[in-house]
């Protein structure tokens, strides 16, 4: 029996337009209304992405980084090279 390799679930918040899993959305609307959105990471396109390694920091990072537009990404599982290849951005930072 083979176990299927499912995409990792990521939490996203921030501001600005993004395309995630082939759907365009305005991240600021989701962030202000719900705080974040959680999705399987099949594809993500944004101008600037911050991959945040700590959940506590993820909740507070918008107070520290006020840059616009930006997308903050957190995953409970470590994002490996294959996961990171699914993220397309002009700038990607790891914090």
Structure confidence by residue, pLDDT tens digits, 79-92: 999 999 999 999 99
Assign 55 a pLDDT band (cuts: 50, 70, 90). very high
Q: What is the pLDDT of residues 13-50, one digit of tens each?
A: 999 999 999 999 999 999 999 999 999 999 999 999 99
What number of other Cβ atoms are within 10 A of residue 29's Cβ?
Answer: 10
User: Can you give the pTM of this predicted structure?
Assistant: 0.91
Q: Work out how many domains the chain is built from and give that number.
A: 1
Residue 1, domain member (yes or no): no
List the domain range (segments joined by +) for residue 26. Answer: 9-94
Q: CA-to-CA distance for 28 and 12, rounded, in angstroms?
A: 10
The structure tokens 């470590």 sit at 78
Assign 3 a pLDDT band (cuts: 50, 70, 90). low
């Amino acid at each position: 029996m083979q176990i299927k390799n499912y995409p990792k679930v990521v939490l996203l918040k921030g501001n600005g337009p993004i395309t995630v899993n082939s759907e365009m959305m305005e991240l600021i609307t989701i962030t202000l209304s719900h705080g974040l959105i959680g999705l399987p990471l099949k594809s993500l396109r944004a101008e600037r992405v911050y991959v945040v390694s700590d959940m506590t920091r993820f909740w507070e990072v918008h107070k520290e980084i006020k840059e616009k537009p930006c997308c903050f990404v957190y995953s409970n599982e470590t994002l490996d090279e294959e996961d990171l290849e699914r993220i397309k951005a002009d700038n990607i930072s790891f914090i």
